[in-house]
Amino acid sequence: MLATYEALCEEGYSDLTAQSIADRTDRSKSALFYHYDSREALVADFIEYLIEGFDARLERTREQPPLERLAAFVDWFLADPDDDELAFHTAFLELRAQAPYNDVYREKLRESDDILRTAVEDILRDGIDAGVFRAHDPESVSALLLASFDGARIRQFTLGRDEYLETVRAETVDRVLADVLAADIEFPDEASFEFPRDDRLVDDGTTDASDDDGTTDAESDTETRESNAEGDPTE
């Protein structure tokens, strides 16, 4: 999956091919298609991989106080991306544009959206229980926050205007969270911890395609022989 991430960053979604992914592993294109019969299937599995990673990262923050968890989430979502992050999110924006026409992508992206909304709802509910947030509707506030953050990021990615991230964060604190925070609570200017990054998407030089796509050497050899007889799958 690291190879898929790297290919998306460098090629973008529209130019993503099985060959561009295989070129970043020690496997052939035919071996890659031992498990994936199309680019769509591979990308859908990659989205699932990201979802699983987000769940694991979220779990690592659960022992933190609700207010700090919310601040870390806001800072993470509205952080100014580095070059790799910008390239990936731009490619992912291309992918999201396919969702209205692709049921598989739309279903995976809905799953991702549900997890994000639930994550924020849980933080807000925990904050109500802890007395740092006033009683409110966590589902509505979560939906509002994510829609605002998502819009800011899309404009930053497409227009290169960082002020959208800065403005949305400031106005979210002043106009939305001000009505959510308990009377004696102030929203942190900066979270006390960083929302964990997905370490699986960092190339440490030890990546092997058998870890990347689940293909074993025996499967690869078998698929290569079959491919020689029948021809490689096409994009």
Nearest to 232 by CA among 5, 27, 48, 12: 27
What average pLDDT is seen over the chain?
84
pLDDT value at 76 more than 50: yes
Query: Residue 54's pLDDT band (boundaries 50, 70, 90)?
Result: very high
Residue type, 198: D
- What's the pLDDT tens digit per position in 191-219? 999 999 889 887 765 444 434 444 434 34
Structure tokens at 55: 């769940």
Task: For residue 148, give the amino acid letter.
Answer: S
- What is d(CA 233, CA 28) in angstroms, rounded to the nearest whole number? 12
Please, where are the H alpha helices in 131-171?
Answer: 138-159, 163-171
Residue with token string 């031992």: 34
Residue in 93, 86, 109, 94 with CA at minimum distance from that of residue 9: 86
Query: Contact 18/32 with Cβ under 8 angstroms?
Result: yes
- Which range has the worst mean pLDDT, 84-88, 132-136, 138-142, 174-178? 84-88
- Over residues 34-51, the pLDDT tens digits come to 677 788 888 999 999 999
pLDDT value of position 26: 78
Rounded-to-integer distance, Cα 42 and Cα 165, Å: 32
**Distance, first Cα to last Cα, the chain:** 18
Average pLDDT (212-227) is 40
The answer, yes or no, to whether residue 99 has pLDDT greater than 70, is yes
Compute the C-alpha angle 173/174/176, nearest 5°.
70
Comparing 16-20, 98-102, 168-172, 219-223, the range with the smallest average pLDDT is 219-223
Copy the structure tokens of residue 6.
Answer: 């790297």
Closest CA to 139 of 180, 78, 108: 180
Beta bridge partners of 133: 181
Q: Residue 74 is inside which H or E element, if any?
A: helix 66-77
**Which residue, chain included where needed, has tokens 């400031």?**
170
pLDDT level of residue 178 (50, 70, 90 thresholds): very high
